[in-house]
Amino acid sequence: MPGRVAMVTGGSRGIGRATCLELSRSGFQIIVASFEVEKNEEVASEIQAAGGKAVPLELDLTSMDSIKQAFAKALKEWGRIDVLVNNAGITRDGLAMRMKPEDWDLVLQVNLSGAFFCAQQVLPGMLRERWGRIINIASVVGQMGNAGQANYVSSKAGIIGLTKALAQEVASRNVTVNAVAPGFIETDMTARLPQEVKDRMLSAIPMKRFGKPEDVAAAVNFLASEQAGYITGHVININGGMYM
């Protein structure tokens, strides 16, 4: 895919980092975007060392100004963004009864509103070029629910709805919008969970193992490819059979 540019939000670690590396191996030029400036630079350097092209980009999804400035900078530097991977996400877990309004707002703002406003920034160019891929990272809990995560679950269920709505709006211009819904993936986010929670999760996975970031990155890479050109509005589940 010569010359095509892919931007990955939350590209500094976990699924985002694995996705940056995978897309680079497929020939995409990569924009590693997150609020973690040093880690963005590390991932970009890793890609460059392997012979790929990548630039780091500071992006704060809680700020509309930051979103606009980041995309303006990316478009000025590269001239286009062909693939957007909305991967950035946070958790602020707690029982619904006691959840603080700010914890609800922040998770929805980063995970759902952030994804929408990023998509808004790239759509004009994609529609003009009549080619584009938006790939949203949802979650198995957005499909099946999870106690103590009303905010996160709502944001990820919202991502699935957003995916389907956008897909219908832009399909006629050869722009596809799909989602990937990971199950339990070994990342920094899941590493913080208590062991008893991990054991309980493992017992619910028919494949009896946790996924790796590379498992998710492979699906994103496929959805970004020419081969996936007739797939839109779809959710690919990568969960080891945890939810079917």
Say if CB 8 and CB 33 are below 8 A apart. yes
d(CA 47, CA 86) in angstroms, rounded, equals 19
Copy the structure tokens of residue 241: 């059979």
Distance from the Cα of residue 200 to its chain's centroid:
26
Q: Which long-range contacts (CB under 8 A, 24 or more apart) does 125-128 make?
A: 125/75, 125/80, 125/81, 126/81, 126/82, 126/170, 126/173, 126/175, 127/170, 127/173, 127/175
d(CA 114, CA 201) in angstroms, rounded, equals 28
Q: What are phi and psi of 86, to 5 degrees?
A: -85, 85
∠ CA 84-70-150, nearest 5°, is: 60
d(CA 70, CA 49) in angstroms, rounded, equals 24
Catalytic pick from 71, 104, 131, 152?
Answer: 152
Say if CB 28 and CB 51 are below 8 A apart. no
Say if CB 217 and CB 15 are below 8 A apart. yes
User: For this structure, is 152 an active site residue?
Assistant: yes
Q: What are phi and psi of 66, to 5 degrees?
A: -60, -40
Which residues are catalytic, by number?
152
